[in-house]
Structure 1
Amino acid sequence: MTTETILRVTGLRKQFGPVKALDGVSLEVRAGEIHSLLGENGAGKSTTIKCITGAYKADAGEVLLDGVAISPQSPREAEQLGIGTVYQEVNLLPNLSVVENIALGRMKTGFLGRIDWKHSRVRAKAALDKLGVSIDLDEKLSALPVALQQMVALARALDVDSKVLILDEPTASLDEKEVESLFQVMNRLRESGIGIVFITHFLEQVFRMSDRMTILRNGKYVATREAKGLSREALLQDMLGKAFEEMQGRPGNLNTFSEGLSGKENRLVVNGLGAPGKIKRLDLKLKPGEVVGLAGLLGSGRTECARLVFGIDGATGGSIELDGKAIRQGHPRTSIDEGIMLASEDRKTEGIFPNLTVRENMVVALQTRRGFFKPISKEEGDRIARKYIDAFKIKTSGPEAKISELSGGNQQKVLLARWLAAEPKALILDEPTRGIDIGARAEIEKLIESLSREGLSILMISSEMDEEVRCCHRVLILRDREVIGELSGDDVSESEIVKLIAAHA
């Protein structure tokens, strides 16, 4: 690695309405280095990349490539300048061949506009040779495994003599062998002098591959660190914005309540649940009234666990028991029928039905449990809706109000009411307070405590570690899609969670 700066970004700012997505972001990438861009959800990584590559127009700031100010108006223009990007989801055309995907939009034409396919094939082979891989140029992209599709995307980026290559979560869909192959290619590109921006949530990969790393938090630049000699704890403190001494400990009332759980039988038992690319193995026991948290950084596998237990994604091994009865896996309808419910992290896409009323949104899960031939009358629906509007203090004009008219916090309460109306035995809460204000957050945390005392078993996922410390009796810690430890009692604290994550990175 040289000390020559190939890409320099300073003071980047971008605002969407009242929201400051970027507020003074800086980034410096040297020729022949792998530079990781790190930060939790909402840190500004994706927006930074989109501003650099012309997908977004920055409100302020400067981007220099080889010391020259650039302002690409599109990703294609950025490519032509020498900045290539490969996204987590392969952004190519599956119905076209390898050579067509690499050459698309760059084909040399001859007499009467005929494409010079010989020239395209030479260029495509040369780009693949840079990666050290051999792929049939005539093979349809859709016939290739994801790892090779990603190599084709890399080859397309290198076809225009990229000086900087941005890799956005390139290992997210790859198995261990495929990751090793990609890392060999990245090392080869680093040695050739290309500056690589590496975005990943896998800390082990960050420390293995990075020369330096830049950390963002809440749209702001935090620091740029040399990878060599940097401790895991120091990196996590940069990402989370807290020193260990500032991290919250466990409320005493949770310890007192936890003591009463010890003699109870398990309600939900998960043994060895797993699936390639999702989670390696999940073992979990939940007692009536117990709140167990899944903690870890973004990309650690928390949501994947929830989706496997609920049956959205199919597991390739393991078993689930509810009150001692084996549950058939692999379908949400089965889980709902048995009493396992999931409140998704994506409230807008997977949660609310925006065109339906508060009442209709609340009773949909209960109607699913009862089946088509036992419809819920409007009168019964009204009773259910008013019960939870009063109990949860939902601010709405009434059961017939459109849910889209409610605030985010009140929409979240309606979703909680939906699953409670269906009388769950175990409730999975994935980011139950995401995107809501402080007051609504406190109210939902109180609801979780109240539901626990009423005997409901809760599996809770939250990006806010202090929230898990406040709400959970036990916490399972995940890293890189694997459970690496468990905390309970007085050991449940932000600092202990971070130490566990760091110790296994």
Structure 2
Amino acid sequence: MAGARAPLLEVTGLAKAFGPTAVLRGASLRIAPASVHALLGANGAGKSTLTRILLGMERADAGAMRLGGARYAPASAEDARRAGVVLVPQERTLCPHLTVADNVTLGIEPAARAGLGIRDRERARAVARRAIALVAEGPDRLPLDAPAGELGVADRQLVEIARALAQGGLREDGRLAARLLVLDEPTSSLGHDDAARLFDRVRTLRDAGLAVLLVTHFLADVRAHADRYTVLRDGRVAGEGDPRETEPAQIVREMLGRALEVARARRAPGAPGAPPDAPGAPDAPGAPGAPDAAPPGGGEVVLDARDVAGVKRPQRASLALRRGEILGIAGLVGSGRTELLRVLAGLDPKRGGTVTLRARRGVGLLSEDRGGEGLMLGRSIAENVWLSPRAPRLAAPRSLRAGAARWIDELAIRAAGPDQRVGELSGGNQQKVQIARLLREDFDVLLVDEPTRGIDVASKAQVLSLLRELAASGKAIVLVSSQLDELVTTCDRIAVLRRGVLEPPRPASSWTEASLLLEASS
């Protein structure tokens, strides 16, 4: 077993505090060579700080690390790379206008002559070719001269891994010099099939002798692909073991310190804010080209889309969104889910079809790209909450901070206060700041794109519970999620977007995760 071997990496008693806040409190970790080790924990548990110390981006206050039996204390990311410890971050860092080869060798380009700053392009291509050979399924899968921006999401992720391996060093015979690869939420943007492809390559790298630290929130990935797991809670190790021999409920208890209630309390049909269709009753099919017919007892239609087509995706989408419901959109990555929301929100142009809005307070979009589009990470919580053309232009800063403090309290945002920078918050709390801005604007229609991407189990439960409360209060919500269990347990109706075409929605009670996946991939 992986856990019985002498460790490649051994971390003992690691402690780290930022001011008065202790983030790591004696954390320990043992990673075997040629293994996949999962690191789990709720947001704020200390996972990011631990990995930043491993990668030389932070220095520990106390504790010790050993790599391959020798003392390991990197003073910088470059020190870590020289020691063979490399990272693939959660947020993508490829330059879309550069080729695959240029992206792989970016920052480590071999020089033709020392000191002259002239790049040796042939040597650079040789490095890129060796790195790509380690992650590609075939010689033509990732052409070196292909622009990175033209690749699919899964292939871009493989290029990220190839670049990390190249940074850790490659021997002339193509063997790895890197010893430990840190993958931070590698499947958060991938669909089921693409995630499976990625883990096929991870297993190949493991079998070639590489150790992989998998930082993730997806328990299914851990149970299917990890040899061992470690759970952090409040900066301490709360559990570890073989994920195949541990029930998911036990891992959740270790993460949270308590059992997690996940049962859905469905609203009674016909009640205020109730689902517009009775459980198990299929929607009546509409006429060709028309949105689904309103089931008996449904609320008023506030957003009516007919035969909507985007520039590339979707190809055809019709829906009727009703007040008080959550309409889920399922589909594989690349099916056009995000593009559909952006067209409905008026952010992307329409190539055809009509969108009719009957909502006095308008439409708000929660972006899946919270770091690049949804939030200003360098600004305060208060500034982000009030970021809107609707915000009062002459309001006193004290008033804005007081308003933000209200949302911090109502949404239980873990923060030092409204003046704290959003970039300093955990992923789950950043997501709550996005939601706070939508709630402050009091939109009637909420288009919610991957609201639980990259956040922990407890924060997921809070966000999904909040969406159900908003629907019960009369909001109309479209929810896009790659997590099929979230759609089944949260939504009133679910429609599948398949190959750019949105199928008629059906009651959530008539779907299972398996049937959704089958419908989306057929």
Give, in angstroms, the shift of residue 266 of structure 1. 1.8
Find 2:161's aligned residue among 128, 151, 154: 154
**Pairing 1:127–2:131 present:** yes
Find 1:107's aligned residue among 110, 113, 130: 110
Q: CA RMSD in A?
A: 5.7
Find 1:90's aligned residue among 89, 92, 113: 92
**Pairing 1:221–2:237 present:** yes
Identify which range, 140-149 or 4-13, moves more after superposition. 140-149
**For 1:364-392, what per-residue CA distance to the aligned partner results, in whole angstroms no more than 9, with x for missing partners?**
549xxxxxxxxxxxxxx89xxxxxxxxxx
Give, in angstroms, the shift of residue 403 of structure 1. 4.4
Find 2:47's aligned residue among 19, 41, 45: 45
**Alignment CA distance shift 1:242-1:362 (3 Å):** same
Question: 2:185: which partner in 1?
Answer: 169
Give, in angstroms, the shift of residue 209 of structure 1. 0.8
**Pairing 1:406–2:402 present:** yes
**For 1:83-128, what per-residue CA distance to the aligned partner results, in whole angstroms no more than 9, with x for missing partners?**
0111233324444443333333251544774544443333332222
- Give the distance between the partners of 2:484 and 2:237, measured in 1 at CA: 25
Is the CA contact (8 Å cut-off) linking 1:356 and 1:402 kept in structure 2? no
Is the CA contact (8 Å cut-off) linking 1:95 and 1:141 kept in structure 2? yes
Q: Show the 5 A alignment for 1:298-337.
A: 311=345, 327-328=355-356
**Alignment CA distance shift 1:259-1:191 (3 Å):** closer
Give, in angstroms, the shift of residue 211 of structure 1. 0.9
- State the one-letter code of the partner of 1:125: R
Give, in angstroms, the shift of residue 400 of structure 1. 3.7
- Give the distance between the partners of 2:274 and 2:103, measured in 1 at CA: 61
**Alignment CA distance shift 1:127-1:49 (3 Å):** same
**Pairing 1:419–2:453 present:** no
**Alignment CA distance shift 1:312-1:171 (3 Å):** farther
Larger radius of gyration: 1
Give, in angstroms, the shift of residue 285 of structure 1. 10
- State the one-letter code of the partner of 1:162: A
- State the one-letter code of the partner of 1:35: H
Give, in angstroms, the shift of residue 229 of structure 1. 1.8
- Give the distance between the partners of 2:481 and 2:155, measured in 1 at CA: 32
Is the CA contact (8 Å cut-off) linking 1:362 and 1:418 kept in structure 2? no
**For 1:16-49, what per-residue CA distance to the aligned partner results, in whole angstroms no more than 9, with x for missing partners?**
3343333333222111111111223333322221
**Pairing 1:71–2:105 present:** no
**Alignment CA distance shift 1:407-1:111 (3 Å):** closer
How many positions carry a matched residue from both structures?
414
**Alignment CA distance shift 1:283-1:31 (3 Å):** farther
- Give the distance between the partners of 1:88 and 1:363, measured in 2 at CA: 28
Please, what TM-score do these two structures have when normalized by structure 1?
0.61
- Give the distance between the partners of 1:40 and 1:58, measured in 2 at CA: 21
**Pairing 1:483–2:487 present:** yes
Identify which range, 262-271 or 49-58, moves more after superposition. 262-271
**For 1:50-76, what per-residue CA distance to the aligned partner results, in whole angstroms no more than 9, with x for missing partners?**
121012222233222112221212222
- State the one-letter code of the partner of 2:257: G
Question: 1:9: which partner in 2?
Answer: 11
**Alignment CA distance shift 1:429-1:408 (3 Å):** farther
- State the one-letter code of the partner of 1:57: R
Task: Structure 1 unaligned segments of length 5 or more: list them.
Answer: 295-302, 320-325, 329-333, 367-380, 383-397, 432-444, 462-475, 489-499
Give, in angstroms, the shift of residue 189 of structure 1. 0.9
Question: 2:143: which partner in 1?
Answer: 136
**Alignment CA distance shift 1:261-1:29 (3 Å):** same
Task: Structure 2 unaligned segments of length 5 or more: list them.
Answer: 170-176, 278-295, 329-336, 411-435, 452-464, 493-511, 518-522
Q: Show the 5 A alignment for 1:343-354.
A: none
- Give the distance between the partners of 1:38 and 1:364, measured in 2 at CA: 39
**Alignment CA distance shift 1:118-1:415 (3 Å):** closer
- Give the distance between the partners of 1:19 and 1:283, measured in 2 at CA: 50
- Give the distance between the partners of 1:97 and 1:357, measured in 2 at CA: 40
- State the one-letter code of the partner of 1:197: L
The percentage of aligned residue pairs carrying the same residue is 26
- Give the distance between the partners of 1:180 and 1:248, measured in 2 at CA: 28
Give, in angstroms, the shift of residue 82 of structure 1. 0.7
- Give the distance between the partners of 1:14 and 1:247, measured in 2 at CA: 33
Question: 2:430: which partner in 1?
Answer: none
Give, in angstroms, the shift of residue 5 of structure 1. 0.7
Give, in angstroms, the shift of residue 224 of structure 1. 1.1
Please, what TM-score do these two structures have when normalized by structure 2?
0.59
Helix, strand or coil: the match of 1:237?
helix
- State the one-letter code of the partner of 1:189: L
**For 1:219-267, what per-residue CA distance to the aligned partner results, in whole angstroms no more than 9, with x for missing partners?**
33211120222112212222232136x99998x9xxx988999996424
Is the CA contact (8 Å cut-off) linking 1:335 and 1:341 kept in structure 2? no
Give, in angstroms, the shift of residue 460 of structure 1. 11
**Alignment CA distance shift 1:79-1:111 (3 Å):** closer
Identify which range, 404-413 or 144-153, moves more after superposition. 404-413
Question: 1:388: which partner in 2?
Answer: none
- State the one-letter code of the partner of 1:266: G
- Give the distance between the partners of 2:361 and 2:98, measured in 1 at CA: 45
**Pairing 1:206–2:222 present:** yes
- Give the distance between the partners of 1:41 and 1:309, measured in 2 at CA: 32
Is the CA contact (8 Å cut-off) linking 1:264 and 1:287 kept in structure 2? no
- State the one-letter code of the partner of 1:187: R
Give, in angstroms, the shift of residue 197 of structure 1. 0.9
Question: 2:197: which partner in 1?
Answer: 181
